[in-house]
Amino acid sequence: MNQPEATLDADFLARQTRSLTAAAKWLQRVGRNLPIAAGVQIFSHRDEVDVSFMPSVDNLGGRSQRDVAAQIVRVIGGKWDKTTSDDCLYLRSTLPFGQVIIYLDKAETCTRRVVGKRKVERTIPAVAAQPARVVTDTVEDVEWDCGPILGEQVAS
């Protein structure tokens, strides 16, 4: 027996519409002062909207991602939090409709420092005419210094 397809309820759609409208009006107001290289995207989820900037290395026109991010932070203002993942540096600021996120390539915007090295063993599985074997690799332990993007406005 077929289950009825889930649908969005009217309250949810009304909240989403309000959030998207607020984000669009905000972007229309601040967007005139943002660089074309900012690469804006809007994501809608639950009751909030994320406005994301992803400065593309291909669109920077000789500027660094760090310079473009600093311009975005200056235009938007407010308090920003900084976090990292394996590959990205994220700058986040909360606004009434949701949050603004700047995604940056950590290798482009931060300084990589090797703080140690260690040996790691791994097993190479057996293949035709070769038995399994254990090899030892040297792995670097790395820390990233992502420093301030724009002085005191960005909280680490």
Q: What is the pLDDT of residue 81?
A: 92
Arithmetic mean of pLDDT over the chain: 84
Q: Over 80: is that where the pLDDT of 154 sits?
A: no
Task: Inform me whether the pLDDT recorded for 150 exceeds 70.
Answer: no
CATH number at residue 48: 3.30.460
- Domain count along the chain: 1
CA distance 6 to 28: 34
Q: Give me the mean pLDDT over the 132-149 stretch.
A: 89
71-107 residue pLDDT tens = 889 888 889 999 999 899 999 999 888 899 999 999 8
| Residue 29 located in a structural domain | yes
pLDDT over threshold 80, residue 7 = no
Contact 93, 82 (CB under 8 A): no
Residue 104 covered by a domain: yes
Range(s) of the domain holding residue 40:
10-109
Query: Is 146 contained in some domain?
Result: no
Q: pTM for this structure?
A: 0.74
Is residue 126 a part of any domain in this protein?
no
